[in-house]
Amino acid sequence: MREIVFDTETTGLDPLSGDRMVEIGCIELVNRVPTGRTFHAYFNPQRSMPLAAEQVHGLSDVFLADKKCFHEHALELIDFLEDSPLVAHNAQFDFGFLNHEFGLCGHPEVVLDRMIDTLTLARRRHPGAKHSLDALCVRYGIDRSHRVLHGALLDAELLAQVYVELTGGRQIGLALASDTRATANEISVFRPRQREFRPPRPHAATVEELARHKAFLETLESPLWVH
């Protein structure tokens, strides 16, 4: 099973309002093991970088000025992704930007059936806990000391380790179900069992049981219910 874990950095939160992708990092997994193959690129967004976004990932207008635009990397990225399932944290966000960029340069969108969201997996496995990438790294003992700012390739590398832990850790070979998409989209459906109807059993005490109970009470000295 080949899967791609990826992360993006952007100029903001909403591609429909003019925000653009400025970095993507992809990690190839085969049977949940990194192969060493990666794809990493910076993009010139052809717009200014808001200060709030730059403070998150450190990518400035000056740094991005000489980088190629997304459409110049699009075919190379498509070749790397192939038709593999794509793993991301809060994947709707990353898929939204990825498909927006593909649309702008005339390429087909990535179908959402390929999406595996580790945020959804984390919420199901650890309800009520913190589910940020940092929090999950702490939970699973993954070293993130070199993560000073967000970076697409670095975050994808960390997420790949988190994903392995969320889907069975290093013992995934012992899992009963190995289909990744089933794991990512697991939905518990309650199906009540068909039970044979049985009439209620009588629970009233018999005359003999009442008599024995009365005789027992008479042996008690100063019972609490007697005032």
Neighbouring C-beta atoms of residue 186, cutoff 10 Å:
11
Both tokens of residue 100?
Answer: 């927006």
**Cβ atoms of residues 40 and 62 within 8 Å:** no
Q: Which residues pair with 5 in a beta bridge?
A: 27, 87
Query: Which residue type, as a one-letter code, is found at position 67?
Result: K
Cα–Cα distance measured from residue 97 to residue 39, given in angstroms and rounded to the nearest whole number: 17
The catalytically annotated residue of 150, 203, 213, 227 is 150
Edge-first strand order for the sheet with 33-42 is 33-42, 21-30, 2-10, 86-88, 115-117
**Cβ atoms of residues 53 and 12 within 8 Å:** yes
Q: How many helices (H) and strands (E) does the chain have?
A: 9, 5
Q: Is 150 a catalytic residue?
A: yes
Cα–Cα distance measured from residue 213 to residue 145, given in angstroms and rounded to the nearest whole number: 71
Active centre residues (catalytic): 150
